[in-house]
Structure 1
Amino acid sequence: MKNILIKTVLACLLTTSILTSCSDEFLNEAPATLVPQNAAISTEADMLIALNGTYRALNTVVLSGSTITLYGRNVPLAGDLLADNVFVSERNSGRYIPFSNYTFNQSNADIGDIWSASYTLILRANNIINSSVSGGNAANINQYKGEAYAIRALAYFNLVRFFAKPYTDDPASPGVPIVTQYDPFLKPSRSTVAQVYTQIMNDLDQAYQLQTQYRGSAFMSKYAARAIAANVAMYKADYATALTYANDVITNSGFSLLNRAEVGAYWASGTPNSSSVKRETLFEVASNSVNNAGNDELVNIYHQQGYGDMLATPELYNSYSEEDIRKSLISNSSRVSGENPAYIVNKYQIPFGAGDISDKKVIRMSEVYLIAAESAYRTNSETTALARLNELASKRYSTFTFASTGSQLLEDIITERRKELAFEGNRFHDLNRLKREITRSSVYPATARTIPYPGSSSLPRYFPIPERELNVNPNI
């Protein structure tokens, strides 16, 4: 499969427009062994075209004629559905039921798609990182390479969290293959979890060093890379580094938190921030009326004008107080021939066909403050932890402030992380890094209401390597 992915990626990068889809017809243009690794990129303009195609792959890719999603839907949805934030409505289109029921296995198509699309994304980023460009603007070339490093790091961060044990459990356990060079004959073995995290942090450091421009929230930037690195460090339990990086973003990036009054309009908009706006979103995967996953966009699985299959759990809805503005992002409603009440997710409000489709947030300032709060607590600075938590609380509650100490302060931080980042794909990974049981209510199938940590063969806490990958790579 890697051979097919590599051929497909190289062919896609040779196209002259990021709007051109990539399908089987490109596989026969030239044998992969005759295509130089950097054939598609020889100028600054080539690099930008390739980079735009790489951003597109963050949302969707086309392999063998089929469109598959990463942030288009699969990645953010799985991160909530596998946990306790959302569930499949009794009136549904049949999508993602194995994730809700914990009946997924090596042949699950959505799992295979996350794997295949992630490595396609990595190979596109590799082609930019490894390219040799003569002439052009050196600052632009460094910027584009820095963005590619950040994208590759993000792809590996998702892969290692979905397909391996958390670092906090066993960093020496099998992770995922690290592929950084073009080799059509490569059949890589799995690197350890620790090795994958080292690769991620090295890539993010390169991204931080190389980037000097902010091109808007739909593109990686110096401080988006630093914020992601803070999150990665927290997932490693390297809390000192996580705190340092989070403070760097808070102090030096120029980005600010949303005010309480802005929350509704923020989530109602489908337009990324321009290069002149540094507000809340450090990086998001953008969709619009042309570049999108069609009916497979994340918004359509939540929106009642789409499939509307996914509902918020009653427990999550009830965790928001009346003075918490975030409660307005879930409607207490009902579904015809379905749940009553039905807690309908309103974070994604612009469905496919309605214009500039709702984008998918990857890293926001709110999360950076929560990373700083948790990391400060875990490095024995409760005063700082409480202050960071209340800085966010002042932007979400009308009057409430936290005064907790000790273990209750940590629980408050983790709970606020759940409430702030709900429906953005983080909850499952957080419960894994914390090595906590997933406790679900009666809205889930009886056989999948308690998912213990570290899990079991029948209730796994991470995905199996896809069967189609095992069939072609004996080294994995």
Structure 2
Amino acid sequence: MKIQTIYLLITGVLVLSCNDSFFETSPATQITTQEVFSSENNIDAFINGAIRYLMENSTSQDNPGLPTIFLTHEVMGEDAFARDGRYGYRDSYPYRDPFDNTTRRALFFWTLQYTSIDHANNIIAHIEIKEESSQRLKHLKGQAYALRAYNYFNLVRQYQFTYAKDPNAKAIPVYIHPTTPATEPNPLSSVSEVYEVILDDLTEAEKLLSGFERTVKNRPDLNVVRGLFARVYQTLGEWELAAEYAERARTGYPVMTPEQYTEGFNDVSNPEWIWGHPQTQTQNRGGASYLAYIETTPYTTNANGTNLYYGYNSIMPDPWYVQIFEDGDIRKSLLEVATQPNEALYSHYRNKKFRNKYPHHDGHIVLMRAAEMILIEAESKARLNNLTGAVETLNELRRNRNLADLSPADFNKERILEEILLERRRELWGEGFRLYDILRLQTAPVRRESTETFVDDENNTVAVRGHWFTTFPDGSPLVPNSKYFLFPIPLNEINNNPNL
């Protein structure tokens, strides 16, 4: 990786934390490594800044921190598409960017996550846990282990195919110590070697975070660590452990009601959110934020009654996606065609699942929910041939989406797995899971041109807009395990690391 100095790294992170009205701060000018780690309050401020860096750091308007990857993953599937000609994700949608390793987005993805890993490495290296160490110090180090595991888990799935395909495939370099200008860049580790680091880190985090009670939901606690364990074991096909950890992760986080589902997915106070990142007006990037790209809900109308939208509104639900919902599903009620000829999203479906906060555009970022854990648990039970348990677990979610219970008698293993995987698409749209599932399941997205029409407000029959790219850039069909699904190691990294 491109080595950064510890001085610049720490100063930059603490500058972020000092602007954060949620958290305590510590000095951010002329800071040395010794000063940063000289007190628990300073370490706490460093972690605040490290989390904010990962979630908010941006090199351009279309790269709003880690959620940039969430949005990229959505438009690389089949249930969403990038609005033609609209800024933001129009090159990710047809698999051109970040596939091209010379683009700024390819560099941004790599640099953001490896810098975040270096933040965690510094915390881990500079906190020595002794018998007399305070609980708070243990909790701070535990959070760093969780953040490092989260980053490596994301990276290993972005830069190489899934574990089940080839655990020995070379994936990414692994760094577990702070880097300096003199650090020798590491070679690529295999997929299985990266997962060993991830599981070791989560194990340490689980030990150290015992008793931790956070005051802000962007801090990883035991529920978050267990949710990460559940995701990892799901990817590894360790179904008993995936089910166990998913159930433990959602303890204390009830599934949101149908009414809560319609409130806009914009606040960590939602009882279902296990992990989320709150933002103030000054932190949020406004029209270039995560919500500004995924939100397609009008915030007001003009004097003529025409719907007005805030932000780029670049990512749209595909018409065929609407067809996978049952009638009566609260989520289906949020999908509707924009019928006013003069409104910006005319002839597109909009998904009112996401709604920014107005007037300050300071909506929060969702990172983990109880519904996702239910779906991991249900899938795990199905793969373990516990079909009754799988259906009962899935019904817990369905009841909170205004849907009737399913009967185990109506399903065999194949059919209930198909239903659970469809439910992941219904429930998790826009949250960044789609490409990860395509890679994990070794499937291909099925993109079809829209055949749907509607009658607009001027009584014209109009085609609903949908997919406008249905092949890879070379004209070949969408197939499983394609090179176009993987992020490339950026050219800058290749030039700086002779050991790759």
Amino acid at match of 1:413: I
Give 1:300 deviation, angstroms. Answer: 1.0
Give 1:67 deviation, angstroms. Answer: 9.7
Amino acid at match of 1:475: N
In the alignment, is the contact (CA less than 8 A) between 2:284 and 2:363 conserved in 1? Answer: no
Distance 1:463 1:259, change over 3 A: same
- For structure 1, the residue ranges without an aligned partner over 5 or more in a row are 21-27
What per-residue deviation string (whole Å, max 9, x for no partner) do you get for residues 203-258 of structure 1?
A: 112222211223242221101110111011101111121112123234xx322111
Helix, strand or coil for the counterpart of 1:311?
Answer: strand
Following the alignment from structure 2 to structure 1, what is the Cα–Cα distance between the partners of residues 212 and 492? 40
In the alignment, is the contact (CA less than 8 A) between 1:58 and 1:285 conserved in 2? Answer: no
In the alignment, is the contact (CA less than 8 A) between 1:330 and 1:343 conserved in 2? Answer: yes
Following the alignment from structure 1 to structure 2, what is the Cα–Cα distance between the partners of residues 141 and 393? 41
Following the alignment from structure 1 to structure 2, what is the Cα–Cα distance between the partners of residues 145 and 181? 14
Counterpart of 2:208 in structure 1 is 210
Amino acid at match of 1:341: S
Following the alignment from structure 1 to structure 2, what is the Cα–Cα distance between the partners of residues 127 and 151? 12
What per-residue deviation string (whole Å, max 9, x for no partner) do you get for residues 58-79 of structure 1?
A: 212267x9995333x3121012
Counterpart of 1:132 in structure 2 is 127
Matches within 5 A, 1:366-445: 366-401=371-406, 403-442=410-449, 443-445=467-469
Counterpart of 1:89 in structure 2 is 83
Out of 52-61 and 367-376, give the one that drifted further.
Answer: 52-61
Aligned partner of 1:361 among 355, 361, 366? 366
Aligned partner of 2:292 among 295, 300, 303? 300
Following the alignment from structure 1 to structure 2, what is the Cα–Cα distance between the partners of residues 57 and 407? 42
Q: Percent identity?
A: 25
- For structure 2, the residue ranges without an aligned partner over 5 or more in a row are 21-28, 296-308, 450-466
Amino acid at match of 2:163: Y
Helix, strand or coil for the counterpart of 1:3?
Answer: coil
Out of 127-136 and 173-182, give the one that drifted further.
Answer: 127-136
Matches within 5 A, 1:44-443: 44-61=40-57, 68-71=63-66, 73-93=67-87, 95-104=88-97, 105-132=100-127, 138-184=134-180, 185-211=183-209, 212-215=211-214, 216-250=216-250, 253-265=251-263, 267=264, 270-273=266-269, 279-303=271-295, 304-334=309-339, 336=342, 340-350=346-356, 354-355=359-360, 357-401=362-406, 403-442=410-449, 443=467
What per-residue deviation string (whole Å, max 9, x for no partner) do you get for residues 147-198 of structure 1?
A: 2211111111111111111112111111111111113123111111111112
Helix, strand or coil for the counterpart of 2:276?
Answer: strand
Distance 1:67 1:412, change over 3 A: closer
Out of 385-394 and 82-91, give the one that drifted further.
Answer: 82-91
Following the alignment from structure 2 to structure 1, what is the Cα–Cα distance between the partners of residues 422 and 70? 19
Amino acid at match of 1:214: E
In the alignment, is the contact (CA less than 8 A) between 2:234 and 2:242 conserved in 1? Answer: yes
In the alignment, is the contact (CA less than 8 A) between 1:61 and 1:67 conserved in 2? Answer: no
Distance 1:114 1:293, change over 3 A: farther
Distance 1:330 1:126, change over 3 A: farther
Following the alignment from structure 2 to structure 1, what is the Cα–Cα distance between the partners of residues 61 and 390? 46
Runs of 4+ in 1 over 6 A off after TM superposition: 133-137
Amino acid at match of 1:412: E
Counterpart of 1:23 in structure 2 is none
Following the alignment from structure 2 to structure 1, what is the Cα–Cα distance between the partners of residues 163 and 351? 31
Helix, strand or coil for the counterpart of 1:376?
Answer: helix
Task: Report the TM-score, using the length of structure 1 for normalisation.
Answer: 0.87
Give 1:309 deviation, angstroms. Answer: 1.5
Following the alignment from structure 1 to structure 2, what is the Cα–Cα distance between the partners of residues 145 and 339? 46
